[in-house]
Structure 1
Amino acid sequence: MAEQNRKRSRIACTSCQSRKRKCSGDQPCTTCAQFGADCHYDLLSRKKKDIRHFQSQSAVTSLLSPATVQNDIASKRQQQDQQANPAALAGLLLKALEANSGAAFARRLNPKNDVAGAPKLHLFGWNVGARYPIPEWTKALASVKPRSVVDIISQDEMRSLASIFFDKVDPCYPFIDRDTLLRQVSRRWLAATSESLGFGPYDAVLCGVAAFGYLFSRRRATATELQLIESARSILEQSLQSEPLSPVDIVTGWVLRVAYLRMTTTAHAAWMASCSLMHLIESTGMHIEPSSNIALDRATTAESCNPETRRRLFAMARHLNVWISFELGRSRVVLQGATSLAPSPRPTTNGFATTTTADIFNLLPISESLDPNEAQDISNLESALADVLDIIYIQPHLILVQCNLMLCIYRRLRALNSIISGDVLDRVLALSGKGLKAASELVAISSPWHQIANVPFQVVCTLLAIDNRASLAMLRDAMRTLHEVASAYDTEVMREAYTTAYLMTVMHQRRKEEDMRTLKDVLQFNPSVSIPDETQIREPTVQSDHTLMDYPGFSWLSDILVDIPSLRDFDMEGL
């Protein structure tokens, strides 16, 4: 009975006919595409009614331009090759995901790093490192149990920490209304409220803001900060088990947690949290404008939320997920059917509206356009680079965000072998210099944005890749800035980033010295030629005031020393 109901194509290709296989009647058919066979139809031997459908498809193809037809053929051949070679397909997907990764750029820039035992796509300078040494951090967390925020800190402490948050964090991450938070603080510490509630509905937000206050005022975490982090984590993870009673408060708490993890923990933990945040956004409908005519029950969840607050929360979630995914070389979460509008610029203190370039959300469309799964050509990337370079930021934290985006676009263009004009290259170097200065300023005021570690390291890589006089002249400032960050935040992560940048610079110097020796051999071929004194060339000496720092737990870099005899006496394992 199943045999009678099975539908067959009225026409089969010659390959399927000879092998007596089922043919789909497409061009190429499914069977030929799977096995990579040449798909050909013998139309002259078939009846007109059998080939009518095939001819109608051919008529549509004939209306296309030759270029379109050729592109379609090439695309089908590529699909056939990928189906025949799964390893090649996996390689293409991996290359696409690594397109925006600074770690992949550093690895391609210095093949000597590609040694046995080296971690794949190791993220040097991902952030300034853990707030606690790992053994102490693990031991401290084991003894911490969730508590309500009123049992952890006083109301005066909460107000003081909130003031630090709005002074240092809010100018870059503007997604919490100050008046709303202060009202919640006054309400939460009322005697009747604090006694009748264990965990309040706004506790996750209060704990997150307070944790940021500690992060941006102290070099090391305290027991109180650990308690705030653990309490917020417990509240937020429990919220995933059922529909949240206060969706806006829970989403706000999750945004705070993802942003905190981005600055203090591993890339994997931050990426997982950012994906959870995006799925929470979808489940609460905060990516949909209430005015949209979409028949979704979840859209009603966001109707009671202030429209501007909802847009900013969604924009922050996208920003964090996009960049964490890009830097880690993993897929980002894209919410289908999103209708949320772009956040409006905040008014300035004098009552006039700011320009769109004064907000981090202005860069979000450019960031999302760099999705490695989307087709990108050189002209689009060059246009995006020009747009980023044209933006003028004053705040140091926004300059770092702009610089990071610019470096990402430059890496993409370099991977495509694009020829960048001298004027554009000068602007790239100028913005890199601004980024280094901004990082130093933030270190001086104890603002451990993740970019103060990431941008200087990537600038070092970019300067070595450009390799001209202007870029090499900036290399000293780049290394000095990275050293400042490593000295201020003496963590294994920063020692690792600085030492890697130092080794890459030394190896670059070695290659330059080898080139110089080659040129000397050429000039010594005819030593009788005299050189005028004014044009006499002297061998430059390379001086550095940097020293190798301790490098525990990263033994794979010792293999690089085989090519650097002058560094063999350094103890890379830490004495």
Structure 2
Amino acid sequence: MTEQSRKRSRIACTSCQSRKRKCSGDQPCTTCAQFGADCHYDLLARKKKDIRHFQTQSVSSSLLSPTTVQNDIAAKRQQQDQQSNPAALAGLLLKALEANSGAAFARRLNPKNDVAGAPKLHLFGWNVGARYPTPKWAQALSSVKPRPVVEIISQDEMRSLASIFFERVDPCYPFVDRDTLLRQVSRRWLLPMTSESLGFGPDDAVLCGVAAFGYLFSRRQATSTELQLVESARSILEQSLQSEPLSPVEKLTGWVLRVAYLRMTTTAHAAWMASCSLMHLIEAMGMHIEPSSNIALDRTSTPESCNPETRRRLFAMARHLNVWISFELGRSRVVLQGATSLPPSPRPTTNGFSPTPTTDIFNLLPISESLDPNEAQDVSNLEFALTDVLDITYFQPHLILVQCNLMLCIYRRLRVLNSITSGDLLDRVLALSGRGLKAVSELVSLSSPWHQIANVPFQVMCTLLAIDNRASLAMLRDAMRTLHEVASAYDTEVMREAYTTAYLMIVMHQRRKEEDMRTLKDVLQFNPAISIPAETQITESAVQSDHTLMDYPGFSWLSDILVDIPSLRNFDMEGQ
């Protein structure tokens, strides 16, 4: 081999993989350096390949332990049984879809929703609740008609709402360019107020979406103006599906804004349907393809006219929303075949320096997508992914919640595989859970209704009950206090249900503990002590609680529920 021959690497960068080119493995690699492409490596894929290589070497060696051989034989037999049994295969697919779902995890712990054979997953803490609860807004919604944004709010109001958006939403969802939006605002209100200018403009869907977020993140109660903005944006976007868009970028930006808004304000099904439609729209427009990929696109698609970085951010945001909405519902996500879009570059900070990749939500997207239930995952891969997530340091509260949500999802996957998490790793899981609870309190005080402020406290509570050690049980007070803060700030049916369900789950956990204590007490009574120092003797009053549900104002009705559901006494908290 000569010095000029190209060095081969065991793993290629994402750019070389998508173009099927040889990669040197450098940073940047020689191919990317030659063509000026963004050189990026999927570290998680590297670890997966290293693990598979290690496992292959281990199998070929003569040092296999009897336990390893038995596990391999059992796995092969299970696979053969599943292939010959369609019902078992269907059950396996359902279990795979539910593997990432917080609803499925809560279902094992929550007796109220544990109906045998029921395919429906009830989501507790999906968001803080409907922004327009019925029937209060039913009459208002029926009377709303789409109107141009200049008829709904003034230019000064639009600029004020845009400032709220870029202050509170953009740091976590960075897909709208501030300078571009401000130019759109100036241009939209520049024309004289004539009948012709009052028609829908090409930017109205984006302007209405940004303004609606401004209301959402500044007022805890919805107003008729916010409803008008949302309905106008919806009408514009749905009508645009029937004709060729004047600007694919504005159309796509409007759809991303709508899906993100629905995730925080409406039901899970509506948000999931909209996120899937968004992914199909991206495919139809060819916005998932790099213009330099030389892949034939539909003639109506013009991704070349879009700024490459803007297109990458829009595609990444759409993937993020669809992945996590699908995961949490236990449903299939939309995967666009042949996508060649590169990862978005980190935005420059105000001081002109580029931040590290860990300061961007898109840095977590490769790990999130690697958790696809259709992809085979073993304990080692998941533990590597969990360590990668825990190693990241975020300081912004909204990004801490995104990180915490991903960490909880990976931990749920490990429990599905009956994995025993090591003490050090478990301590780090609890530590990040504590940071997540503090981040929720901070966002509640700022009137920032990210959907994670409802979801994370509830899922942390479920995780603490599942871990069930002294450290986790000691955190239950903080988890319930945080959930109560959210329920108090956003007094909706969804939050009341989430809080009371969490309370009931803890009551059931307490009853199981009390039954265990009675069992131990029976053992001690059957075996009386011969000689126990007086200072170590435990009186009966020390092990019995003097508190009942009647001691907690507002929750005395739970006593009636427990009486009406006697089977809860023997409920298995692990669902086994």
Match of 1:372 in 2: 373
Do residues 487 (structure 1) and 491 (structure 2) align? no
Match of 1:431 in 2: 432
Match of 1:539 in 2: 543
Match of 2:173 in 1: 173
Q: What do residues 98-151 of structure 1 show as CA deviations (whole Å, max 9, x unaligned)?
A: 000001001123456414898821000000001132111222111100000000
Match of 1:17 in 2: none
Match of 2:3 in 1: none
Moved more, 439-448 or 103-112: 103-112
Match of 1:55 in 2: none
CA distance in 2, matches of 1:497, 1:505: 12
Q: How does 1:493-504 map to 2 (within 5 A)?
A: 493-504=494-505
Do residues 206 (structure 1) and 207 (structure 2) align? yes
* Amino acid of the structure 2 residue aligned with 1:363: L
Do residues 323 (structure 1) and 324 (structure 2) align? yes
- Change over 3 Å in CA distance of 1:381–1:84 after alignment to 2: closer
Residue 297 of structure 1: how far off its partner (Å): 3.2
Match of 2:472 in 1: 471
Question: Is contact 1:285-1:298 (8 Å) kept?
Answer: no
TM-score between both structures, scaled by the size of structure 2: 0.81
Residue 251 of structure 1: how far off its partner (Å): 0.4
- Change over 3 Å in CA distance of 1:310–1:358 after alignment to 2: same
Question: Is contact 2:264-2:449 (8 Å) kept?
Answer: yes
- Change over 3 Å in CA distance of 1:558–1:232 after alignment to 2: farther
Match of 2:28 in 1: none
Q: How does 1:87-166 map to 2 (within 5 A)?
A: 87-111=87-111, 113-115=113-115, 120-166=120-166
Match of 1:513 in 2: 514
Residue 292 of structure 1: how far off its partner (Å): 1.0
Q: What do residues 357-399 of structure 1 show as CA deviations (whole Å, max 9, x unaligned)?
A: 0000000000000000001111000000000000000000000
Match of 2:293 in 1: 292
Q: Name the SS for the 2:120 alignment partner.
A: coil
Residue 426 of structure 1: how far off its partner (Å): 0.4
Structure 2, unaligned runs of 5 or more: 1-58, 65-69, 570-576
Do residues 222 (structure 1) and 223 (structure 2) align? yes
Question: Is contact 1:459-1:478 (8 Å) kept?
Answer: yes
Say which of 546, 561, 566 aligns to 1:562: 566
CA distance in 1, matches of 2:411, 2:511: 26
Moved more, 227-236 or 239-248: 239-248
Do residues 249 (structure 1) and 250 (structure 2) align? yes
Q: Name the SS for the 2:447 alignment partner.
A: coil
* Amino acid of the structure 2 residue aligned with 1:295: A
Q: Which has the larger radius of gyration?
A: 1
- Change over 3 Å in CA distance of 1:157–1:546 after alignment to 2: farther
CA distance in 2, matches of 1:510, 1:422: 27
Q: Name the SS for the 2:302 alignment partner.
A: helix
How many residue pairs end up in the alignment?
A: 497
Residue 291 of structure 1: how far off its partner (Å): 1.2
- Change over 3 Å in CA distance of 1:140–1:349 after alignment to 2: same
Q: Name the SS for the 1:185 alignment partner.
A: helix
- Could you say which structure has the greater relative contact order, defined with CA pairs below 8 angstroms and 6 or more residues apart? 2
Do residues 186 (structure 1) and 186 (structure 2) align? yes
CA distance in 1, matches of 2:194, 2:561: 54
Question: Is contact 2:113-2:122 (8 Å) kept?
Answer: no
CA distance in 1, matches of 2:556, 2:126: 18
Moved more, 127-136 or 82-91: 82-91
Structure 1, unaligned runs of 5 or more: 1-63, 566-575
Q: How does 1:267-416 map to 2 (within 5 A)?
A: 267-297=268-298, 301-416=302-417
- Change over 3 Å in CA distance of 1:328–1:528 after alignment to 2: closer
Q: Name the SS for the 1:135 alignment partner.
A: coil
Q: Name the SS for the 2:377 alignment partner.
A: coil
Q: What do residues 383-416 of structure 1 show as CA deviations (whole Å, max 9, x unaligned)?
A: 0000000000000000000000000000000110
